[in-house]
């Protein structure tokens, strides 16, 4: 097909859609913003609300995507992002914050699996399905640039008004809505299966050892990726308070996030070469191990070294996400492609949300979360992570994770 086909346009627009989604200007200040109005325990629960809200829409949105189409689902995701961001800008009370978090959770749920499915099916329609890892890597790189730009900008703006960061994010999601509107629905030959065909397709997918292994890895890596996001801001605030710079926390947090994304972008440039040397199981286990190591450092020290380690938070995602998607997409049936990825995402969010609810029980009711609380909570996560990593390392070969050893 020529480069002017609708599906080639999808491939070209996809990274920019991901870029618009990543302009989350509030990302570096959300916990500090909530904490100004609510207690630390309520701020943690609000993040859990975001994850728990996915329970309502994650799998149904995957089903809708597989039945009603990728384009409509992505438009709905972008619109939910607009509504959620504006509600959080309005804020003022726990109920409004919770509703805003619910809509943001809905936006994530609707996009989960659907965006990657649209890319893979567009590539397949163009006869370019072997490019999925490279195209996912390119989209990830633009996402990281968007996160970096919005983090440093949002951190600076938040010194004047944290509410503006949510308004700016809402405008970015308006841009994502326009891009989603321009997508063309890719062809899905077996998406016309009889009603209920997704259930056998899901069973077939989960019956494959390699998909079960990557499923388990993705579920636990979701939580470990977001732990520094939840606890990084109070950690930075606590460290800055020790040197009487707590008032600069939004700007410092934004700078840390920007550097974090920049380092991850650099890592993504070498990811394909590193995967060639280590193999797929090796690079995936390396990525998960890096997450555990990062949380371990935060558990052991409150020094500036720990803040520097936060710079590496997204590097594991840059080293794993394109390869996880590239491995599973060819093994999934079109009739349940988005449903499967949504179910995987749902399990990760539910597990992490449940752990956060338990963590909130250990949090103090004081205005600022102390480091002693952070250390206690993260210590339990490290212990669990080591156990899971060992189990995955021991079963990778038998599961046939490497492409040349599929079962």
Percent of the chain past pLDDT 90, that is, above it, reads: 34
In a domain, 330, yes or no: yes
When divided into structural domains, the chain yields a total of 1
pLDDT for 334 beyond 50:
yes
Q: For residue 153, what is the domain's CATH number?
A: 1.20.1250.20
Between 250 and 142, residue with greater pLDDT: 142
The answer to whether residues 115 and 18 touch, using CB atoms and an 8 Å cutoff, is yes
pLDDT at residue 364, rounded to an integer: 52
pLDDT for 248 beyond 80:
no
Residue 228 lies in domain: 9-182+197-405
pLDDT at residue 195, rounded to an integer: 44
In a domain, 187, yes or no: no
Contact partners, residue 119, CB within 8 Å, separation at least 6:
10, 11, 14, 132, 135, 136, 139
In a domain, 22, yes or no: yes
pLDDT for 73 beyond 50:
yes
In a domain, 281, yes or no: yes
In a domain, 190, yes or no: no
pLDDT at residue 329, rounded to an integer: 87
pLDDT for 209 beyond 90:
yes
In a domain, 291, yes or no: yes
Question: What's the rounded mean pLDDT across residues 87-96?
Answer: 84
In a domain, 116, yes or no: yes
pLDDT in tens, 168-206: 999 999 999 999 999 999 886 554 444 445 677 788 888
Question: What's the rounded mean pLDDT across residues 79-94?
Answer: 89
In a domain, 371, yes or no: yes
**Average pLDDT, rounded, for the chain:** 82
Binned at pLDDT 50, 70 and 90, residue 351 comes out as confident
Q: What is the pTM of this model?
A: 0.76
pLDDT for 216 beyond 90:
yes
pLDDT in tens, 361-402: 655 554 455 566 677 778 888 999 999 999 999 999 999 998
Contact partners, residue 96, CB within 8 Å, separation at least 6:
87, 88, 90
pLDDT at residue 97, rounded to an integer: 87
């Amino acid at each position: 097909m020529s480069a002017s086909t609708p599906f080639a346009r999808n491939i070209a627009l996809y990274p920019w859609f991901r870029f618009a989604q990543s302009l989350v200007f509030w990302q570096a200040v959300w916990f500090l913003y909530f904490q100004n109005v609510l207690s630390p325990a309520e701020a943690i629960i609000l993040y859990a609300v975001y994850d728990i809200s996915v329970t309502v829409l994650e799998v149904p949105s995957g089903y809708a995507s597989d039945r009603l189409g990728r384009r409509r689902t992505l438009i709905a995701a972008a619109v939910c992002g607009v509504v959620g961001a504006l509600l959080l800008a309005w804020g003022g009370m726990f109920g409004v914050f919770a509703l805003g978090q619910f809509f943001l959770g809905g936006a994530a749920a609707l996009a989960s699996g659907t965006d990657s499915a649209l890319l893979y099916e567009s590539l397949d329609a163009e006869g370019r399905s072997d490019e999925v890892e490279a195209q996912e890597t390119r989209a990830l790189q633009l996402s990281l640039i968007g996160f970096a730009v919005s983090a440093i900008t949002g951190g600076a703006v938040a010194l004047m008004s944290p509410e503006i960061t949510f308004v700016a994010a809402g405008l970015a999601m308006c841009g994502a809505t326009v891009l989603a509107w321009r997508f063309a629905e890719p062809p899905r030959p077996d998406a016309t299966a009889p009603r209920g065909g997704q259930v056998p397709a899901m069973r077939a997918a989960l019956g494959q050892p390699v998909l079960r292994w990557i499923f388990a890895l993705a579920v636990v890596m979701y939580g470990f990726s977001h732990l520094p996001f939840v606890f990084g801001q109070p950690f930075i605030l606590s460290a800055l308070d020790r040197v009487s710079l707590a008032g600069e926390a939004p700007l410092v947090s934004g700078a840390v996030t920007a550097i974090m994304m920049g380092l991850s972008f650099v890592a993504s440039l070498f990811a394909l070469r590193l995967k060639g040397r280590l193999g797929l199981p090796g690079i995936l286990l390396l990525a998960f191990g890096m997450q555990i190591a990062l949380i371990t450092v935060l558990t052991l020290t409150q020094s500036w070294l720990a803040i520097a380690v936060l710079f590496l938070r997204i590097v594991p995602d840059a080293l794993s996400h394109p390869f996880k998607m590239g491995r599973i997409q060819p093994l999934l049936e079109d009739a349940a492609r988005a449903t499967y990825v949504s179910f995987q995402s749902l399990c990760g969010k539910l597990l992490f949300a449940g752990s956060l609810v338990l963590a909130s029980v250990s949090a103090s009711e004081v205005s600022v979360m102390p480091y002693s609380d952070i250390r206690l909570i993260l210590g339990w996560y490290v212990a669990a992570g080591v156990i899971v990593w060992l189990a995955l390392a021991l079963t990778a070969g038998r599961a046939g994770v490497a492409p040349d050893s599929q079962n």
